[in-house]
Amino acid sequence: MLLIETFRVALQSIWTNKMRSSLTILGLVIGILSVVVITTLGNAAQADMTGAFDKYGKGKLNVGFNYNTERPILYRDYFSDEDITAVEKMEADVVAVSPQLRNWMKIKHGNTEMSINMTGVNHHYDQVETIELIRGRFLTEEDVLGRRNVMVIDEKTARNLFGSIDCIGEIATLTTGWYTVELMIIGVDKLSDSAILNMANGDYSYGFMPVTLATRMSFTDRYPRLMLQAQENLNIDRVGDKILSLLERRDKEKSMYRVNTRENEFNQVSQGIGFLTLTVSGIAAISLLVGGIGIMNIMLVSVTERTREIGVRKAIGAKRATILLQFLVEAIILSIFGGGLGLLLGGTIGYGIVQWLGLPFIVSKKAITMAFLFSTAVGVIFGVYPANKASKLDPIEALRYE
List interacting residues with another protein (CB under 8 A). Answer: 1-2, 5, 12, 16, 308-309, 311-322, 395-396, 399
Half-sphere exposure of 337 (CA within 13 A, CB side): 19
The phi, psi pair for 166, rounded to 5°, reads -85, 75
Cα separation of 141 and 130, whole Å? 18
CB of 39 to another protein, least distance (A): 40
Question: Could you tell me the smallest distance in angstroms from the CB atom of residue 330 to another protein?
Answer: 15
CB nearer to another protein: pick between 241 and 397: 397
Contact 320, 383 (CB under 8 A): no
Q: Are 67 and 377 in contact (CB under 8 A)?
A: no
Q: Which is nearer to another protein, 92 or 316 (CB)?
A: 316
Minimum CB distance to another protein, residue 289 (Å): 33
**Residues across the chain:** 402
Considering the complex, state which of residue 2 and residue 171 has its C-beta at the smaller distance from another protein: 2
Q: Are the C-beta atoms of residues 90 and 180 closer than 8 Å to each other?
A: no
Distances (CA, A) of 69 to 126, 171, 223, 245, 254: 31, 42, 18, 18, 11
Q: How far is the CB of 21 from another protein (least distance, A)?
A: 15
Nearer to another protein by Cβ, of 2 and 373: the residue is 2
Q: Are 281 and 40 a contacting pair, CB within 8 Å?
A: no
Give the residue with the Cβ less far from another protein, 252 or 314. Answer: 314
In whole angstroms, the minimum distance from the beta carbon of 318 to another protein comes to 5
CB of 5 to another protein, least distance (A): 6
CB of 2 to another protein, least distance (A): 6
Cβ-count burial of 158 within 10 angstroms (0-12 exposed, 13-18 middle, 19+ buried)? buried
Residue closer to another protein (CB basis): 12 or 304: 12
Between residues 17 and 130, which has the closer beta carbon with respect to another protein? Answer: 17
User: CB neighbours of 192 closer than 8 A, spacing ≥ 6?
Assistant: 52, 55, 56, 130, 198, 201
